[in-house]
Structure 1
Amino acid sequence: MKVIMAGMSKTGTKTMNAALTELGYEVYDFMENFWYVGDGWMKQFKEGFRVEDMKRMYENVDAVVDTPCDIYWEEIFEAFPDAKVILTTRDEESWFKSLANQLNQDNSDVMFRLSRTFTYTGIRIQYYMATIIQHLGQLHTWPFSSFRMKHEESLKRVKRKHERNVVRVVPKNQLLIYQVTEGWKPLCDFLDVPVPHKPFPHKNKGAVVLDDLREENPVMQRMEK
């Protein structure tokens, strides 16, 4: 493990996945964490976190991003103490609006709700998500699973507390506090890699992640088929 992305969802995690992939890293985002090591995560949720299990789960992975790794970044960092940590952040107002917009998109997408409710893989994702995102106050309801959020200020407080903890725990020489609008240079300087000769990626603008998954991700394609 070389890079742990500690930034919460909707702080540019999909953009960071694309950027790190472009830089040559093997990246596990939400779907990879579910599909390849989801059973390992569920085992740890039930039995408690063990360093040896975390090392085994991510022994061949260069970087992790998004849920559940943003929530349990500290447990991953304990297993890989030499990893660099990137805390992506953004202002609270735009972060909350983006989060609310994403959840509205998910709830209004009939095919996504059907596939999460009536397919074996979708039910597994549902249970997995229900276990790991309670820190955001999102609740699952059955059937046709939808999400609800707590009060805006409660969620913003979660974000503040999370970011303060990252800054407190990670040694300064291993931490980059970063906004994706800053582009390649600070990221590449921190990782000590050359700046690519191509534009910095910007993913999931307008909460289109479901469309991207349908186009690119075999797990999503399998669920909807």
Structure 2
Amino acid sequence: MARKSSSPTQSASPTPLTTLLKINPLPYLAFSIPLHSPVWHLVERLYALPSPPAPRKRTQPMQVLCVGLPRTGTESLQQALLHLGYDHTYHGWDIVYDDEVHSPGWAGRRKGAVITAAEFDELLGHSVAVTDAAASVFAAEMIAAYPEAKVVLNMRRDLDAWETSLDKTLVHANESWGFWIASWLDRECFWAWHVYERFLWPLLFRAGDGDMKRAIRGNARWVQREHCNMIRGLVHKDRLLEWYIEDGWEPLCKFLDKPVPKVEFPHANAAKSGWKTREEQCNKRWVERALGNLILLGLGLVVSIVVARMYLF
């Protein structure tokens, strides 16, 4: 019998956690190392970018925070806000595709700590709106840091479809051996994996062991419920819009005091199309470069062995 679609206020029982910040490099490895361990600090130093970008500075006030969870129309919202003139609107893809690689900065932000607007501005200073990963994981911190910004709580009505979308995207990425291996062979890829698979998504969905599939199946609905309730408790109703992707332009434009565009509302990043395109971009940007590094590493090893045999044996 088919499962009934659930409203965003329904929840499932949470999966018990051991230690929230113990994340496995892959979900099914038998060991875990706490992220605050000196081991990870050493690894982060080894993979530090040779020329890190300068911290950004705010050029315009932050105006809109779209704090809904991933796969709730976040990229569609980004495209809509850009169309309405909110340039730049920061999305989770910016963390990994930004021309200036600021992803290590997100690993340095600790959820639950007091993060000032100036600290967020080092990463978001060029943006007047933000959606997706950063806005959902650091929703409470951003709401406190930018008290004048309007807040959009983007949600999905069909939670069955939402879970399926999470499974086809976040879980798929989490279970990618190719992505994980490439993360050890390319600095930028390392930080993309490190930020998303060891920090952002495990923190959001309470994946204490790094297993996103189990966390999403066990925790996604109650995380959604608690997240929405938290936002409602933090933001005055006059400053908050609860919005579903099906609502389209009108409530969004009314809330933002913008005229309704005479174009169809954007629908971006579908699991079968937009996400697949992004994966192909990842392969081209990181995996191919990682393979090149692996070949060079192999050649270096062969040369070292040959030289050692010539002079030591």
Structure 2 unaligned segments of length 5 or more: list them.
1-61, 289-313
Equivalent position amino acid for 1:27 in 2 = T
- The separation in 2 between residues aligned to 1:112 and 1:64, in whole angstroms, is 26
Match 1:119 to one of 174, 182, 186: 186
Moved more, 132-141 or 180-189: 132-141
SS at 1:164 equivalent: helix
Equivalent position amino acid for 2:188 in 1 = T
C-alpha contact (below 8 Å) 1:106/1:113 kept by paired residues: no
C-alpha contact (below 8 Å) 1:88/1:180 kept by paired residues: yes
> Residue in 2 aligned with 1:86?
152
C-alpha contact (below 8 Å) 1:140/1:148 kept by paired residues: no
Equivalent runs, 1:22-41 vs 2, <5 Å? 22-25=83-86, 26-34=88-96, 35=98, 36-41=101-106
Equivalent runs, 1:8-157 vs 2, <5 Å? 8-25=69-86, 26-34=88-96, 35=98, 36-45=101-110, 48-51=113-116, 52-91=118-157, 92-103=159-170, 105-106=172-173, 112=179, 115-129=182-196, 130-134=198-202, 135-138=204-207, 147-150=212-215, 152-157=217-222
What is the Cα-based RMSD across aligned positions, in Å? 2.8
> Residue in 2 aligned with 1:223?
286
> Residue in 1 aligned with 2:47?
none
Equivalent position amino acid for 1:121 in 2 = E
Deviations 1:160-214, CA, capped at 9 Å, x for gaps = 0000111111011110000011111111111111111211111122343333336
- The separation in 2 between residues aligned to 1:206 and 1:46, in whole angstroms, is 28
Equivalent position amino acid for 2:162 in 1 = W
- The separation in 1 between residues aligned to 2:112 and 2:140, in whole angstroms, is 17
C-alpha contact (below 8 Å) 1:139/1:148 kept by paired residues: no
> Residue in 1 aligned with 2:68?
7
- Closer, same or farther: CA 154–213 of 1 in aligned 2, 3 Å: closer
What is the CA-CA distance between 1:109 and the residue it aligns to?
A: 6.5
- The separation in 1 between residues aligned to 2:238 and 2:111, in whole angstroms, is 34
TM-score, normalization: structure 1? 0.83
- Closer, same or farther: CA 96–49 of 1 in aligned 2, 3 Å: same
> Residue in 1 aligned with 2:231?
166
C-alpha contact (below 8 Å) 1:85/1:175 kept by paired residues: yes
> Residue in 2 aligned with 1:212?
277
- The separation in 2 between residues aligned to 1:152 and 1:47, in whole angstroms, is 24
Structure number with bigger Rg: 2
Structure 1 unaligned segments of length 5 or more: list them.
none
Equivalent position amino acid for 1:102 in 2 = T
- Closer, same or farther: CA 97–58 of 1 in aligned 2, 3 Å: same
Deviations 1:37-85, CA, capped at 9 Å, x for gaps = 4333222229943313124433331111111221111111211100010
Going by fraction, where is helix more abundant, 1 or 2?
1
